[in-house]
Amino acid sequence: MAASTKRLLKERTNIARNPIPYVTFADDDNDDDDDDQNDTKMADASSSDNISQWRFILTLDPIHDSLEDSSEIGKAADSPYCCAPSSTSPTSASSSSTTGKTKGAAGLLAGVTRAATSRASKKSSSSNDTSTATSTSTTSSTTSSSTAEAAYFAFQLDFPATYPFKPPQITVLSPSYHPNIKKSSGEICDAILTGDGWGPTLNIRKICARLRKFLCEPDVQHPLETELGQLLSEKPGEYKVEAYKFARENASDRGKMVEEFLRKGGTKK
């Protein structure tokens, strides 16, 4: 048995015993099985001839952000795939400031007493505005966090005979909206997974963690989709709106994705 096959069998057994919470592999997608049955099924699957090819659904959900340091797995709470972009309007604040200045000027013309009254009124109004703004901001933040939605992405790893000294070929099977994923082929560009950062100490668990971070933190310096990279760099607000819209239309149905890419073996469209 080849060294790479032994390594992959060992890794699959370890993951069967200690699953990755945000990853569903092709042979462990049945939630009705108990843990012992899943362990046996995954071990059997690992001994097949397809050990060099792994398929899985990666779940991008803020509830998993605290599992590991964000430097390792990224932060889904900051990803536009999961959280609807918020909009702010500076017009009202500007209008309030202008009104305050006008009232202050009128008070000065009316005399010292009225000026003092105007300033006191203005201060009170400003305090109320600040309190209201703070309350609104807090409510908005809470609402954004509580309404965050998960997004799902299907991946395929093809391991070479030289693994772990050489990285697997990584393909995104599901639709994508990311500057570092080639839409037509599912190819990705990442400094560690496809670049000089790869090393034999990396394993499948670390690959999955890196892919989660990869989804959360696009690299605009090395885009495979130039237009998306430019949009994110020059108009990040617009990019976030489009990314959120994409996720809701194409990456929000876990059941459909499991059925198409894990059970039926769908390929990149």
Per residue in 139-182, pLDDT (tens digit) is 444 334 457 899 999 999 999 999 999 999 999 999 999 999 99
Spatial distance between the Cα atoms of 3 and 5, rounded to a whole number of angstroms: 5
Q: What pTM does this model have?
A: 0.74
| 232 or 93, which is more confident | 232
First-to-final CA distance of the chain:
34
Lookup: tokens for 25:
């592999």
The predicted structure's pLDDT at residue 107: 42
The predicted structure's pLDDT at residue 156: 97
CA 55 to chain centroid: 19
Secondary structure of residue 222 in the 3-state scheme? coil
Sheet holding 53-60, edge to edge: 23-25, 53-60, 151-158, 169-172
Quick one: pLDDT band at residue 217, thresholds 50, 70, 90? very high
DSSP string, 235-266: -HHHHHHHHHHHHHHHSS-HHHHIIIIIIS--
Spatial distance between the Cα atoms of 108 and 224, rounded to a whole number of angstroms: 62
Lookup: tokens for 243:
């990314």
The predicted structure's pLDDT at residue 267: 79
Tell me whether strands 23-25 and 151-158 are parallel, antiparallel or unpaired: unpaired
Lookup: tokens for 120:
């006191």
Lookup: tokens for 189:
């560009």
Q: Which residues pair with 25 in a beta bridge?
A: 56
The predicted structure's pLDDT at residue 27: 74
Dihedral angle sign, alpha carbons of residues 155, 159, 165, 169: negative
Q: Is the pLDDT of residue 64 over 50?
A: yes
Spatial distance between the Cα atoms of 24 and 15, rounded to a whole number of angstroms: 11
Q: What is the mean pLDDT of the chain?
A: 79
